[in-house]
Amino acid sequence: MIEAPSTLPTGGARLPRGQTLRRGLAANPLLVVGGLLSALIVLIALLAPLLAPFPGDAGTATHPFLVLRPPSAQHWFGTDNVGRDVYSRVLYGARISPLIAVAVLAIACAVGIPLGVAAGYFGGWLDEVIMRVTDIFLAFPPLLFALALAAVLPASITTVIIVIALTWWPWYTRLVRGQAASVAGRPYIDSCRALGISRRRIIFRHILPNSITPLIVQVSLDVGGVILTVSALSFLGLGAQDPTPDWGLMVAEGQNYFLTSWWVVTFPGIAILVTAFAFTLLGDGLRDLMDPKRIFLR
C-alpha cells in the first residue's frame, strides 16, 4: 500500500474493447493467471460448505482424540492441535479474509469517493481541510494505525473491518481528489458551467465517472494488501477469535507446533499467500491493460 497511485494519463484511461482486449490479454499472461486464481478463490468461498469434508470443524467442533495428525487420505491437510480438519478450515477461511477485504474497501470507497470528489471539484478551503486531515491519517503506516486501534478495542471481525477501513480511506480520497481536480480543471467543464448545467449533474455525469477508473485498479491491487493486514492483525490476536477459521489466526495458533506439525501453519500460510498474490496479480494486470503506453510498447 506504499505505492503512489499509478502514473496513468488521465485522459484516455478506459478499458480496451474487442480485439484490443484479446491482444492485451495475450500480452499479459500474469493478468490471466491472476484473474483465474481470483475467480477460483471466490468459487471456493462460495462452495465451501459443499467442498469441506468436516464443515463442523470450521465452527466449535473439536476431535481431541485426533490431534496433530499428519496429512492423510482422511485429512488432506492433517489436523490441528484440537483435532480439527485443516483442509476444511482453510476452505472456510476463504470466506473470511476476502469478505473482510470487500467490506473494508467498500467502506473506504464510500468515505473516500465523496470526500475526494468534493475536495477536487470545489477546491479552495474545503480542499485544504480535507487534504490536511488526509495527511494526518496518512502519517501512519496502515498496519500501525490499525494495530493501535485494534489493541484498544475488543478483538473481533467487526473491529478489524472498522479499523482497517479507517486506515484505508485516506488513500482513496487522495487518489480521487487528484483525478477530480484534474477533470474539473478541463475546459469542457467550464463550458458545462457556462451552459448552466447544474452542479449535481456535472459532478455525477462528468467528474465522478472519469475519476473512478484508476480507483478500480487501485482497489483490486489493494485486496491483497488488506488480506495481508487482516492476517497480520489476526496473527497478533487482535482479529477474529477462535474458533473462526481465519487464516492468520490459524497460523498464530499453530506456530508453537510448527516444528513437529508443519501442516498446521503451512497450509493457511499458503492460502494467504496465494490469495494476496492472485488479487495483486489481477490488479497489476488490469493496470497494465488500461495503460495505452503499454499496448504500444508491444
Residues numbered 50 to 79 that lie near other proteins (CB under 8 A) are 59-62, 64-65, 67-68
Alpha helix ranges (H) inside 29-156:
29-51, 86-122, 124-138, 142-152
Residue 115: other Cβ atoms inside 10 A: 22
Q: Rule CB under 8 A: say whether 242 interacts with other proteins.
A: yes
Q: Can you give 150-169 as a three-state secondary structure string? A: HHHCCCCHHHHHHHHHHHHH
Which of 184, 238, 240, 290 touches other proteins (CB under 8 A)? 238
Q: Rule CB under 8 A: say whether 9 interacts with other proteins.
A: no
Q: Rule CB under 8 A: say whether 147 interacts with other proteins.
A: yes
Q: Rule CB under 8 A: say whether 93 interacts with other proteins.
A: no
Minimum CB distance to other proteins, residue 126 (Å) = 17
Q: Rule CB under 8 A: say whether 40 interacts with other proteins.
A: no
Per-residue interface string for the shown chain with other proteins, residues 154-183, x marking contact by CB under 8 A: x-----------------------------
Q: Rule CB under 8 A: say whether 125 interacts with other proteins.
A: no
Q: Rule CB under 8 A: say whether 237 interacts with other proteins.
A: yes
State the Cα–Cα distance between residues 58 and 44, nearest whole angstrom: 14
State the Cα–Cα distance between residues 245 and 64, nearest whole angstrom: 17
State the Cα–Cα distance between residues 13 and 22, nearest whole angstrom: 17
Helix (H) or strand (E) holding 232: helix 208-235
Which residue lies nearer to other proteins by CB, 123 or 269? 269
Q: Rule CB under 8 A: say whether 149 interacts with other proteins.
A: yes
